[in-house]
Amino acid sequence: MDFKTLEEEIEKLNKIHPNANYTARDRYLKQYEYIYENLLEMEKEGSIILDPDVKSLGYLRELLINDGPEFSYTLVFRGKNHLKKYKIGVCVRGLPICKPL
């Protein structure tokens, strides 16, 4: 996935209101997972840049699965040749996020 497409997918995610109903929450989580999987691939390819002082993207999955609903953690990334930054993470009460800064 290129960074422009990634930005479009993040915009789609942020138009979904996950607390509206069960179907919306399911769509939100599936879209987040799609973005997350592509970010992992982009991280391997070196097409996104993460702050070297933070944990890897893989840490987010561990939080979603293991640390319960009250943990909060975000990290910032940007495209290799892009100035716009985004944050991805797990918010308090376990809701995953991916938003522009």
Convert the pLDDT of each residue in 9-34 to its tens digit. 999 999 999 988 999 999 999 999 99
**Where do the DSSP E strands lie in the chain?**
48-50, 73-79, 85-90, 96-100
Give the separation between CA 39 and CA 54, rounded to whole angstroms: 15
Tell me, what's the pLDDT at 69? 62
Average pLDDT over residues 43-56: 85
CA atoms of 29 and 81, how far apart (whole Å) = 28
Q: Check whether 36 has a pLDDT greater than 90.
A: yes
CB 97 within 8 A of CB 72: no
State pTM to two decimals.
0.88
Question: What six digits make up the tokens of 56?
Answer: 């890897």
d(CA 7, CA 56): 20
